[in-house]
Chains A and B, each alone.
Chain A
Amino acid sequence: MSEHRLYARERPPAEILIQGAHVLDPRTTIDEPTDIVIREGKIAELGAPGSLPQPPDGELIDATGKHAFPAFFDPHVHLRTPGQEYKEDLESATSAAAAGGFCGVIAMPNTDPVLDQAAILGSLIEAAKRQARVPVGVLASITRGLNGEELTEMAELRDAGALGFTDDGKPVVSAGMLRKALQYQRLCGGVVALHEEDPALSADGVMHEGAVSARLGMAGIPSISESTMIARDGALAYYEDARVNFQHLSCVESVAALQAAKELGAKVSAEATPHHLTLTDDLVRTLDSRFKMNPPLRGRRDRKALVDGIRSGLIDCIATDHAPHASHEKEVPFEQAAMGTTGLETSFSAVYTELVMSGELDLAILVERMSAGAGLYDLPTPLIAVDEPANLCLVDLEAAWEVGAGGYVSRSSNCCFHGRSLHSRVVLTIAGGAVVFRERMLTEAGALSAT
Chain B
Amino acid sequence: MNANGGRIGRHLISIDDLDRAGIERILDRAESFAEVSGREIKKVPALRGRTVVNLFYEASTRTSSSFELAAKRLSADVVSIRSAGSSVDKGESLKDTVQTLSAYDPAAIVIRSPHAGAAQLVAGWTEASVVNAGDGKHEHPTQALLDVFTLRRRLGSLDGANIWIVGDVLHSRVARSNILAFTRMGAIVTVAGPPTLIPRDIEALGCDSSATLDRLEAADVVYVLRMQQERMRESFVPSLREYAARYQINPARLSRRQLLMHPGPVNRGVELSAEAIDSPQAMIGEQVKAGVAVRMAVLYELLVGSPILAAVA
Residues in A lying within 8 Å of B, measured CB to CB: 209-211, 213-218, 220, 222, 287, 328, 331-336
Contact = CB atoms under 8 A, between A and B. Distances in A.
A413 to B, nearest CB: 15
A222 B200 CA distance: 10
Contacts of B135: 333
B201 A217 contact: no
Given A214-B200, A215-B176, A335-B136, 18 more contacts: A214-B199, A214-B201, A214-B205, A216-B117, A217-B137, A217-B139, A217-B171, A217-B173, A218-B136, A222-B200, A331-B95, A331-B121, A333-B116, A333-B117, A333-B118, A334-B115, A335-B115, A335-B116
B117 A220 contact: no
A47 to B, nearest CB: 56
Nearest to A285: B16
CB-CB nearest 5 A-B residue pairs: A217-B137, A211-B204, A333-B115, A287-B117, A214-B199
Interface residues of B, number: 25
Nearest to B170: A217
B94 A332 contact: yes
Given A213-B199, A332-B94, A287 B120 contact: yes
B183 to A, nearest CB: 13
B116 A210 contact: no
Contacts of A213: 199-201
Nearest to A220: B200
B51 interface: no
Contact of B113 (A217, A222, A287, A333): A333
A332 B92 CA distance: 12
A218 B201 CA distance: 13
Interface in B96-139: 113, 115-118, 120-121, 135-139
A298 to B, nearest CB: 13
Nearest to A209: B200
A162 B168 CA distance: 49
B93 interface: yes
Contacts of A215: 176, 204-205
B93 A328 contact: yes
27 contacts: A213-B199, A213-B200, A213-B201, A214-B199, A214-B201, A215-B176, A216-B138, A217-B116, A217-B138, A217-B139, A217-B172, A217-B176, A218-B116, A218-B136, A287-B117, A331-B121, A332-B93, A332-B94, A332-B95, A332-B121, A333-B115, A333-B116, A333-B117, A333-B135, A333-B136, A335-B115, A335-B117
A51 to B, nearest CB: 58
B171 to A, nearest CB: 8
A211 B116 CA distance: 16
Contacts of B136: 217-218, 333, 335
Contacts of B199: 213-214, 217, 220
Nearest to B180: A215
B138 A218 contact: yes
Interface of B: 93-95, 113, 115-118, 120-121, 135-139, 171-173, 176, 199-202, 204-205
A287 B94 contact: no
Contact of A214 (B117, B171, B204): B204
B200 A218 contact: no
A365 B25 CA distance: 56
B313 to A, nearest CB: 34
A216 to B, nearest CB: 5
A212 to B, nearest CB: 8
Nearest to A299: B201
Contact of B202 (A214, A218, A333, A335): A214
A354 B159 CA distance: 43
Nearest to A219: B137
Contacts of A333: 94, 113, 115-118, 121, 135-136
B200 A210 contact: yes
B204 A334 contact: no
Contacts of B137: 217-218
Contacts of A210: 200-201
A336 B135 CA distance: 13
A336 B94 CA distance: 11
Contact of B201 (A211, A335, A336): A211
B180 to A, nearest CB: 9
B226 to A, nearest CB: 15
B246 to A, nearest CB: 22
A334 B93 contact: no
A438 B137 CA distance: 48
B112 to A, nearest CB: 12
Contacts of A332: 93-95, 115, 121
Nearest to B198: A214
